[in-house]
Structure formats: structure tokens, C-alpha cells
């Protein structure tokens, strides 16, 4: 996956699922990768596309039932997710097209991951209807979370609040896939249901937040 502007901001602040200290540690681990990318003359956009390709491979593994391997590959792709933004900063800043490509491929990556999970549900479960429905709700909610923030920024407001920004969604998905690979299928189903609920709640939070910010400030009247 690629490191969108949404993800870069998420990495910079504390949140309920992934502590800021963990994110700082991850950035430290990825520093040698950034230096290697610079030495190989790779561009941030190249890293973004490589991340998408890794996600496709991981999702195909998940769909085929290779859940533990798929989770490991997806983890690698998710760590690479932060490299393109760090590489862009190390090279003096990103471009408008790079930001556009990041955001677009982030959405594509999420859709591909959820599609892989849905295919595995269809193949592995006797009654896959409700779990697959939860996948669709979680995917739609994930898209709306990012869309709400993007539309808020268009009108000059910030909407980075919420329970389930992108980093948290990735952590939950990878953990659920790994545990399903160890035989705890119900954990993955529960994770997807939880993501569906959290993404919908996050969309509501962002709508409420933007509504509050958009209200005109009232000045208390003075009594004479």
C-alpha cells in the first residue's frame, strides 16, 4: 500500500489503537529502507506502486487460504506504506501528482484486501452471507472515512478525528487474518464486524465534527 496524506497524519498523532511511541519506532525501523531507496534512485511514486503490488500478492494469498503468509506479506506492504512519504520528505518534498497517486492507490489497496477476505469467506465458511456483508460495509465505511476527510479539507476544515483511521484499520485487518490462519476464524469475522461498526461510527464522528467547525462563531452580546 502507499502512504497517503491521510496515513501520514495518522502516523503523527496518538490514537486509541496504535500508540504514538509504536509509530515512532516503526519510522526508526524504516529509516534504513528509506536510505536504501535513495541509494537505488527509487522515486516515492515507484515505492507507492510497489506497495500496491505487494498488497495484491498478499490479498491473493489470503483468498487462496494462505492466511499466515498473506498476513506476513501484508505486514511488509503496510510497513512500506510509510516509506514513500518519508522518501518524498528526504528528497525535498512530494508532488501534487504523488499525493494524488498515494490517495488513489490507498483506496485501491483497501478494496483489494477486503476482496481477498471476502473470497476466503466464500470458500471457507458454510454460511458466508453475513460475514461477506460485513466486509462490504467495512469497505464502504473505510472509503467514506477517507472521503469525509477529503471533502472537509476542500472546504478548508480538518476532519482527522475518529475511532478508525487508516493505520488502525490495517492493524486490525492484519491481526484478524493472522489469527484466522492459526485457526481462529471467528476472530477474523469479529474483526470485520468491528471494523464495519468503527468505520460507520468514524464517518458519523467526522460529519459531526465538520458540522461543529462550520457553525458561525457567536459573540456574546454586551449588556449596557
In this prediction, residue 108 carries a pLDDT of 93
**pLDDT tens, 53-82?**
999 999 999 999 999 999 999 998 887 777
Average pLDDT, the chain: 83
Q: What is the mean pLDDT of residues 101-112?
A: 90
C-beta neighbour count of 107 within 10 angstroms: 19
Query: Buried b vs exposed e over 136-149: b needs ≥16 C-beta within 10 Å?
Result: ebbbebbebbbebb
| Residue 104, Cβ density class (10 Å: 0-12 exposed, 13-18 middle, ≥19 buried) | middle
Q: Is a pLDDT exceeding 60 seen at residue 147? A: yes
Share of the chain above pLDDT 70, in %: 83
Q: What is the mean pLDDT of residues 144-167?
A: 85
- C-alpha of 52 from chain center: 13
In this prediction, residue 26 carries a pLDDT of 62
In this prediction, residue 73 carries a pLDDT of 95
Q: Which residue has the higher pLDDT, 3 or 211?
A: 211
Task: Name the CATH superfamily for 5-214.
Answer: CDP-alcohol phosphotransferase transmembrane (TM) domain (1.20.120.1760)
In this prediction, residue 2 carries a pLDDT of 42
Do the Cβ atoms of 180 and 67 come closer than 8 Å? yes
Q: Is a pLDDT exceeding 60 seen at residue 190? A: yes
The four Cα atoms 202, 214, 211, 172 give a dihedral, to 10 degrees, of 0
> Residue 21's pLDDT band (boundaries 50, 70, 90)?
low
Do the Cβ atoms of 15 and 165 come closer than 8 Å? yes
106 is an active site residue: yes
C-beta neighbour count of 180 within 10 angstroms: 25
In this prediction, residue 7 carries a pLDDT of 39
Query: Buried b vs exposed e over 61-88: b needs ≥16 C-beta within 10 Å?
Result: bbbeebbeebbbbbbebbbbbbbbbbbb
- For the chain, the domains span 5-214
In this prediction, residue 102 carries a pLDDT of 85
Please pick, among 15, 84, 106, 126, the residue that the annotation labels catalytic. Answer: 106
Amino acid at each position: 500500500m502507499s502512504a497517503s496524506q491521510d496515513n501520514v497524519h495518522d502516523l503523527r498523532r496518538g490514537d486509541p489503537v496504535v500508540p504514538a511511541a509504536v509509530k515512532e519506532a516503526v519510522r526508526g525501523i524504516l529509516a534504513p529502507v528509506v536510505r536504501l531507496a535513495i541509494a537505488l534512485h527509487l522515486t516515492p511514486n515507484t515505492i507507492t506502486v510497489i506497495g500496491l503490488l505487494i498488497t495484491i500478492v498478499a490479498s491473493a494469498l489470503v483468498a487462496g487460504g494462505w492466511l499466515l503468509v498473506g498476513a506476513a506479506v501484508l505486514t511488509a506492504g503496510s510497513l512500506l506504506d510509510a516509506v514513500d512519504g518519508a522518501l518524498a520528505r528526504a528528497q525535498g518534498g512530494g508532488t501534487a501528482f504523488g499525493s494524488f497517486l498515494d490517495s488513489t492507490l490507498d483506496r485501491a489497496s483497501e478494496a483489494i484486501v477486503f476482496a481477498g477476505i471476502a473470497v476466503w469467506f466464500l470458500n471457507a465458511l458454510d454460511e458466508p452471507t453475513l460475514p461477506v456483508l460485513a466486509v462490504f460495509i467495512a469497505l464502504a465505511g473505510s472509503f467514506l472515512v477517507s472521503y469525509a476527510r477529503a471533502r472537509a479539507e476542500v472546504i478548508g476544515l480538518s476532519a482527522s478525528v475518529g475511532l478508525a483511521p487508516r493505520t488502525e484499520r490495517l492493524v486490525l485487518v492484519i491481526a484478524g487474518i493472522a489469527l484466522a490462519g492459526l485457526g481462529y476464524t471467528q476472530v477474523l469475522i469479529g474483526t470485520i464486524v468491528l471494523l464495519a461498526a468503527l468505520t460507520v461510527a468514524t464517518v458519523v464522528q467526522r460529519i459531526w465534527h465538520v458540522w461543529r467547525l462550520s457553525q458561525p462563531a457567536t459573540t456574546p452580546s454586551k449588556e449596557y
